Chain A
Amino acid sequence: MATTVIPAQPISRPTNYLTNGFTLKSWLLTTDHKRIAILYLISVTLFFFLGGFFAMLIRLELLTPQGDLMHADSYNKVFTAHGMIMVFFFLIPVVPAILGNFLVPLMIGAKDLAFPRINLLSWYLYIVAGGIMIHVLLNGGVDTGWTLYSPFSTQFSNTNVIEAGIAIFIVGFSSIFTGLNFIVTVHRMRAPGLTWSRLPLFIWAQYATSLIMILGTPVIAITTVMLAVERLFHLGIFDPKLGGDPLLFQHLFWFYSHPAVYIMILPSMGVISELITCFSHKRVFGYKIVALSSIAIAVIGFLVWAHHMFVTGISLYAALIFSFITFFVGVPSAIKVFNWTATLYRGSISFATPMLYAFGFIGLFTIGGLTGLFLASLGVDVHVTDTYFVVSHFHYVMVGGVVMGYLGGMHFWWPKISGRMYPEGWAKLSALFVFVGFNLTFFPQFVLGYVGMPRRYWQYPPEFQVLNVLSTAGASVLAVGYLLPMVYFAWSLRYGPIAGPNPWNAAGLEWKTASPPPTFNFDETPVVTWEAYNYDEIEPKLEDGGIR
């Protein structure tokens, strides 16, 4: 049989995952989790800048009190596009599908995810859904807001609601498949000796996220189907004129969409745990409690949805219970912040760019979390809900938190992904731009909300203008901060210094293989005999930032 002899790989020229095939087919039909991560990196980045473009349109329109840049309908479509793209096509997939895909197998010493083909399928679902979303935008857009509240969405909107619903339905399956893949992989494919208590906290965070993905996402799928059924066949589910209940839609929508906030933030929290430990060169303070707090957030996060509905007329006692549980979910988040801060104590702290992002995350997430307590307090929520206070709060958590974590992670693992270092000076400058620009954009919005400016307003009374101008100015600084990394990451692909396997002297299995890693990650399966973050056994890299 075996007459054809397969030539042995020349050991002198090892291939890595990037050089293992250069054709388009080798990328589009790959089952390598690292290549799929790159596919996600490209597509999610495109959607980020598309969503960012719509954000800039919003900020430009709000520069003046009159609606003078675009028509009211266009403005409504613009903020809807911004919301839908950023939530479903950027924030939810960004860390799990890019960094998670790349790192989960590497961090647990596996060759790939448990279901490589399903992994590729989930990227294709993302692309199909994204294509439909873009088709919606090109065909006049949709004007329901990303929240799709009924009966406006089912009986009154004249835009492509069904098609947008289909996009959300499909992209949901993309994240269900990713979650399923991660859960099975973490259970079944850990390297010998890598017990649960030795897992990196990034893996714990991805695991908790995956639980929410597979338990929560089906609910939004069902909800979009119900919405479509009512819109197409006038079956009374949500519209009271047909015998439905409009608040039922909100319950179902937030039953998914509140936990979805934790789908976004938990993976970034996992990233921050990796960054703080590496750049303090120290084991995390309170490993177990930080790991379990991720699970606690995932579980309790399912029990707070009606805090979005305190002014809808839900019963007093329901409001009371949801307010209480909302405070309760604040505890595990606070625990994480305190433990990260305590990890710095007696560490050996480097101020490399990823660490600057970690500091930025702690700052912005603290403000985002604390203002969440304002909204959980019933009496104050009545005044500030549906105003710019809420807008600012969730941007502090979702942009200040998630994007800071993502950018910190991208800088940290860029040498692993590309094999090259990014330019440290430019990176620090852009981190500064992001932090300053972000605060300038969103801090005025807290004040704006308390003063009373409702969200989704195309024109507004003139006394709100100064705060809006500040916000728009901040958004311009922020845009520069987001564009710079695009430029220098691309530059570094060719001109960046060669990184080597472990440029940060970091612990963690992903740093024990080449950069970029070979297709099957490790030449031989690693055997783990150490605890996570065993930094006391590793020399700290002395030069600040650790690059050369």
Chain B
Amino acid sequence: MSKFLPLWPDRASTIAGQVDALYIYLVLVSAVMTLLIFVAVAVLAIKYRRRPGVLPHPIEGSPILEIGWSVIPFGVMLTFFIWGAVIYFKERTPPTSSTEVYVVAKQWMWKIEHMEGQREINELHVPVGQNVKMVMTSQDVIHSFFIPAFRLKQDVIPGRYTTLWFNATTPGVYHLFCAEYCGTSHSGMIGNVVVMSPQDYSQWMAGGPSAPLPEQGKQLFASLGCSTCHRFDIQGRGPNLQSAFGKPVLLEDGRTVTMDENYVRESILNPTAKIVSGFKPVMPTFQGLVSDEQLNALVAYVKSLAQPASGTLNQAAVAPAGQPQSKQVQ
């Protein structure tokens, strides 16, 4: 790639090549169409230029041509649509076997937290060849997490989690940009994505000082008093959270929602929004009491409770999604 006049960013994720392929297809079709129209206009304009004694020939129109140049371009556009949608579905559907990295955006920096407890600012270290899922939220305004070399971008929105996943293919250092205007230092909210070989990555990761994220969450779970109601041994005043993550939850109003990152987050900040069936709205809000980083740790902990590796094996019999045993049927 020419550094003087680049035409492409680096190509460093599994999806980048697919996006480029569709882009090249779009460029080629557009170039042909543009050329066709330019040549047609130029040829017709010169051939039928105004000359003495040559009168224009009135033509009303042609239904066949009209149908033709409506249907054929639309057919071509459908190929753009389908191809684009296929790529988008891949981009938006993270594989289940993804390492998770939490991101908290704020004016004007990216705060990154790895599950292993590593924290970084405006730098993201990831290994080659591994599915990485970014779970992102913002502390203030809307930002957008943009890595041109991966051809990926996802808005980062306050009050909720958005996710983005990738699988990096080539070691190197790539741009990380904020792509949604966020105030004074919007253009300074940039950083580096460092893609490393697995060996380098584990070496880098070994230098980490703090406890893994779910471990931090477990401590918070105890210190904030969550564990007094959300008990694992007997039925507490709140739902049992063991193995609950990722499963459907029946709500008091009859709806069913999936217990995902956003649900856990909302239940901590606004507990009365979606009450689990059979429980009373007794939980206080933790809005303003926990930071976004602490929320991430709590979410990571609740999530870890559903992973067989970290949990115990005899949890399979527990009722789905923390419903009380006394009230299985609605």
Contact = CB atoms under 8 A, between A and B. Distances in A.
B84 A376 contact: yes
Nearest to B61: A286
Contacts of B69: 334-335, 338
Contact of A76 (B88, B146, B184): B184
A345 B44 contact: yes
Contacts of B40: 341, 344
Contacts of B177: 452, 454
B81 A366 contact: no
B306 interface: no
Given A283-B58, A350-B50, A331 B152 contact: no
Contacts of B60: 283, 286-287
A373 B54 CA distance: 40
A467 interface: yes
Contact of A454 (B9, B50, B85, B179): B179
A454 B186 CA distance: 10
A335 B185 CA distance: 44
A458 interface: yes
A344 B48 contact: yes
A107 to B, nearest CB: 21
B210 interface: no
Contact of A377 (B45, B62, B84, B178): B84
Nearest to B51: A348
Interface in B99-152: 107, 140-142, 144, 146, 148-149, 151-152
Contact of B84 (A289, A379, A466): A379
A378 B88 contact: yes
Interface in A286-300: 286-289
A247 B86 CA distance: 25
A311 B155 contact: yes
Contacts of B6: 447, 451, 463
A458 B186 CA distance: 8
B80 interface: yes
A466 B5 CA distance: 6
B184 A380 contact: no
Contacts of B155: 311-313
A457 B180 contact: no
B257 interface: no
Interface in A201-243: 239-241, 243
B192 to A, nearest CB: 11
A451 B34 CA distance: 22
B83 A377 contact: yes
Contact of A380 (B78, B84, B142, B160): B84
A331 B80 CA distance: 14
A377 B81 contact: yes
Contact of A285 (B50, B59, B85, B92): B59
Given A152-B141, A377-B81, A335 B66 contact: yes
B153 interface: yes
A119 B286 CA distance: 56
Contacts of B61: 285-289, 339
Interface in B229-247: none
Contacts, number: 285
Contacts of A287: 60-61
B19 A463 contact: no
A461 interface: yes
B23 to A, nearest CB: 5
Contacts of B282: none
Given A377-B84, A544-B50, A535 B77 contact: no
Contacts of A157: 183
B158 A386 contact: no
Interface string B34-62: 10011011001100111110111111111
A323 interface: yes
Interface residues of B, number: 87
Given A331-B73, A334-B70, A377-B81, A348 B7 contact: no
Centre residue among B89, B142, B185 by max chain A CB count within 10 A: B142
Contact of A241 (B146, B151, B158, B162): B158
Contacts of B18: 379
A462 B41 CA distance: 40
A379 B70 contact: no
Contacts of B73: 330-331, 334
Contacts of B187: 67, 72, 454, 456-460
Contacts of B58: 282-283, 535-536
A240 B186 contact: no
A341 B153 contact: no
A143 B78 contact: no
Contact of A379 (B30, B77, B86): B86
A379 B19 contact: yes
A346 interface: yes
B266 to A, nearest CB: 10
Interface string B18-40: 11001100100010011001101
B157 interface: yes
B59 to A, nearest CB: 6
B274 interface: no
B70 A373 contact: no
Interface string A439-475: 0000000010011101111111101001100000000
Nearest to A385: B153
Interface of A: 67, 72-73, 76, 143, 145, 147, 149, 151-152, 155-157, 239-241, 243, 246-247, 280-283, 285-289, 310-313, 316, 319-320, 323-324, 327-328, 330-331, 334-335, 337-339, 341-342, 344-351, 359, 362-363, 366-367, 370-371, 373-374, 376-383, 385-387, 447, 450-452, 454-461, 463, 466-467, 535-536, 540, 542, 544
26 contacts: A76-B186, A149-B141, A149-B142, A156-B141, A246-B142, A286-B61, A289-B66, A311-B154, A312-B162, A327-B80, A330-B77, A342-B62, A344-B44, A346-B48, A347-B44, A350-B49, A362-B41, A376-B80, A378-B87, A380-B87, A447-B6, A452-B149, A454-B179, A455-B179, A459-B188, A535-B58
Interface of B: 3-9, 18-19, 22-23, 26, 30, 33-34, 37-38, 40-41, 44-45, 48-52, 54-62, 65-66, 69-70, 73-74, 77-78, 80-81, 83-89, 91-92, 107, 140-142, 144, 146, 148-149, 151-155, 157-160, 162, 175, 177-188, 190, 270
